[in-house]
Structures are given as C-alpha cells and as structure tokens.
Chains A and B, each alone.
Chain A
C-alpha cells in the first residue's frame, strides 16, 4: 500500500524557517518524481514545488522561488521541503504527492496519484 506521511509542520514566526518531511513507503520511491502542494486555510490548492526521481531537477512556483528548497534522500525514502523567510501567506497545509507514473520525464508534467495527509504550517508572531 502506498503511503506518504508528512511531518515537520508547526508554528513559526514571520521570517523564520521550517523543514518539512514526507516519508514514503509501499512503492519504489527512487523511481518517482515527487511534489509539494499547499492549501491555505479555506482556500484552493497551490502547486509549490517538484523534484525529479534522481533529485537532479527541481521546480518552484514563483511564490516560493528563492525561499524554499526541495530535496530528497532516496536511501531514506524521504522527501523534504526547506521553507525559509516564511511569510503570513505561506501559512497552509502542505501535502506531498507522488507522480502518477514512474520515471516520467520531469519537464513534461504528469498528474499526482497519491497524496499524504498534510502537515500544517502556521506563520504568526
């Protein structure tokens, strides 16, 4: 059974940083591109970042570029999102999600088939 379990969310002051983790199991993690999607309270889904299966390629939405860093450790089956210089508008539930097909071309785009339960990031003083 595919499982994605996020952790690392919490309360952080504006300007602070946080590292989110996503532990994957039930599939060959190293074969899949992975994603972060967030949802502000009461709002819709926002695509944040992605990383290729081998970690060589990354993508960031303009809203987080230069402040967030996505990475992965295929030996630990774990995806990360280092979120820095946090702002009030970064407050959201952060979901990790898996590409719908293994070893798909990172720059071509694919849907996301499995999602974690999310971790809440609260930015407040």
Chain B
C-alpha cells in the first residue's frame, strides 16, 4: 500500500496566520490527492480533490498544490472556523490511504 505522511502532526497558529501542511506519498500518485477537514465529533469534509481543485463552497483561503509525491495544503489567512484536523488521502489506487492527520490548534 502507498503510505502517506503528513507534517507537522500538530500546528499552533493564530487567527490571520498563513498555514501550510505537507503530505508526502511513498510513491508517485500523480495528482490523485484529496484534502479533508474534520472537526471534533463530525464527519470529514472534502476540501480539495485532484491536489488543487477546491470543492464548491470551500473558502478561497484554502488552496492545494503539488504532484508526484509531495503536496501542500495552504490556508492563506487562518480563521476561527479553521481550527480542526486536516487529512490528506491518496486515491491513486483502490487501496486508498490517509495521512495521519494534522491538528491545527
């Protein structure tokens, strides 16, 4: 299976900060990467697919980039509603795998 490694595991930030989360794949996954946001007690919410395509309704402060094995999720100006845990997920193959998550606190 393809392993996904996120960094950092925890990120301390303040409202207005620019935040960057990195996700690395153990082998090339082209651009077959999604980012999800999860708040406590809630289901994950899809933010970005195909590495950089934002879902409808997702604020423009969220952006994704990368291809191959290295990807980033950037929040340009952190808002109070953005404190959550973020997961990357590869879907290059049917055995989809998630990163371990990054908690933004």
> B-contacting residues of A (Cβ < 8 Å)?
35, 37, 44-47, 50, 59, 61, 95, 100, 106-118
A111 and B100 contacting across the interface, CB-CB below 8 Å? no
- A44, A109, A117: the one contacting B32 at CB < 8 Å is A109
B96 and A109 contacting across the interface, CB-CB below 8 Å? yes
Q: Supply 9 further A-B pairs (C-beta < 8 A) apart from A45-B89, A111-B49, A117-B43.
A: A45-B98, A59-B94, A100-B46, A109-B92, A111-B89, A112-B89, A113-B46, A113-B49, A116-B43
| CB proximity of A103 to chain B, nearest CB, Å | 15
Q: How many residues of B contact A (CB 8 A)?
A: 25
A107 and B43 contacting across the interface, CB-CB below 8 Å? no
> Which 4 A-B pairs rank lowest in CB-CB distance, beginning with the nearest?
A111-B34, A115-B43, A109-B91, A45-B98
- A44, A100, A107, A115: the one contacting B101 at CB < 8 Å is A44
| CB proximity of B95 to chain A, nearest CB, Å | 7
Q: A44-B100, A45-B101 are in contact. Are A109 and B44 (CB under 8 A)?
A: no
Residues of chain A lying within 8 A (CB to CB) of residue B55: 113
B12 adjacent to chain A (CB < 8 Å): no
B92 and A115 contacting across the interface, CB-CB below 8 Å? no
| CB proximity of B28 to chain A, nearest CB, Å | 14
| Residue with the highest number of chain B CB atoms closer than 10 Å, among A45, A111, A112, A118 | A111
Q: In whole angstroms, how far apart are the Cα atoms of A56 and B44 in the complex?
A: 27
| Residue with the highest number of chain B CB atoms closer than 10 Å, among A61, A115, A118 | A115
Residues of chain B lying within 8 A (CB to CB) of residue A95: 43-44
